[in-house]
Amino acid sequence: MKIRKKILLVLLLGLFFIGGAIVQKKYGLGNLIKILNPKYKSETKKEVLNENHRGKMSIYLLAGQSNMEGDGEEKIESLNDGKIYVFNKDYKWEFGREPVRKKVGPSMAMAKVISQNSSNPIGVINVAVGGTNIAQWQKSFSDNSLYLRLLKRALASQTQGEIKGLFFLQGENDAEGDSTDHYDDWHIQFEKFITNIREDLKDSSLPVVYGQIGKGDGKYWLKVKKSQEKVSLPNVVMIKTDDIDYKAGIIHYNSEAYIQIGERFGKKYVDEFATTHNNVYKK
């Protein structure tokens, strides 16, 4: 009798798991959770890429520290002309809007200038991290390295297009003069970073636009600025930002200033690389 009960229990458990597997396969775990709990909302955003834009993107990488992330708190009007996308943390493309990160930055303004001069849809990948120095952007394949984070997202994004350029804004941290900072040889470290990322992206002529740090009175501020002027690599150009005012008492900008910086990035790119690197530009 006991043996029959055990057999019956095993059969019931088997039916339970088989039935559960069938339901899971049909509806999916996320949908099951929603059915059981209507208030549940998935944090994963759906990809919204227009069918006509698939595989045709010109993709741009943005890296550096906090001023590339953005710190603008004032709301701005949409800068999207209908064909600008952002590669989100879930590795999906979503309709581009500010803030691309937590606050308004230069990303969308840069993308809009390029988009207005291009026939291609534009993809933005912003991986900037506040408070980082140039040493932290050097080549490393450790799991948490900034370099690997940039490279993984860049490689993953190319299913929908091609990497057409890299924008970089960083240097304020190195001006503090800590033991790991590079204020005299920032340009050497930056050149190493660019050379390595070009090699790993298999594009030795990848266009690069970087920003020189703006106004400041840090201990090694002028040394960093002078070092940034010494960068000497083909297809690498610099924009200046020292005529743009920071917020009071902090080395960050307001939303209007970030738009201005983004527009400078975009314009510099268009002026320098409009007819190179297989770009598709409007006539």
Torsion angles phi and psi, residue 267, rounded to 5: -65, -40
Task: Determine the Cα–Cα distance for residues 245 and 243; give it in Å rounded to an integer.
Answer: 6
Q: What is the pLDDT of residue 277?
A: 57
Q: What is the pLDDT of residue 29?
A: 42
Angle of CA points 239, 228, 112, to nearest 5°:
25
DSSP-assigned beta bridge partners for residue 125: 61
Q: What is the pLDDT of residue 49?
A: 86
**End-to-end distance of the chain based on CA atoms, in angstroms?**
87
Strands (E), the chain: 57-64, 84-87, 93-95, 122-126, 161-169, 208-211, 236-239
Question: What are the extents of the domains in the chain?
Answer: 2-36, 51-273
3-state SS assignment for residue 95: strand
Torsion of CA 211, 279, 115, 261, to 10 degrees: 10
Please, which residues have CB within 8 angstroms of residue 52's CB and are 6 or more apart in sequence?
Answer: none
Q: What is the pLDDT of residue 274?
A: 84
Q: What is the pLDDT of residue 9?
A: 54
Angle of CA points 282, 263, 69, to nearest 5°:
125
Task: Determine the Cα–Cα distance for residues 4 and 69; give it in Å rounded to an integer.
Answer: 66
The listed CATH number (1.10.760.10, 3.40.50.300, 3.10.129.10, 3.40.50.1110) that belongs to domain 51-273: 3.40.50.1110
CA 92 vs CA 125, 127, 168: distances in Å = 11, 14, 22
Tokens of 196: 């390595």
Over its length of 283 residues, how does the chain's per-residue pLDDT go in tens digits? 555 555 555 555 555 445 444 444 444 444 443 444 444 344 455 778 889 899 999 999 999 999 999 999 999 999 999 999 999 999 999 999 999 999 999 999 999 999 999 999 999 999 999 999 999 999 999 999 999 999 999 999 999 999 999 999 999 999 999 999 999 999 999 999 999 999 999 999 999 999 999 998 878 999 999 999 999 999 999 999 999 999 999 999 999 999 999 999 999 999 999 876 555 444 3
Handedness of CA 16, 22, 27, 29 (dihedral sign): positive
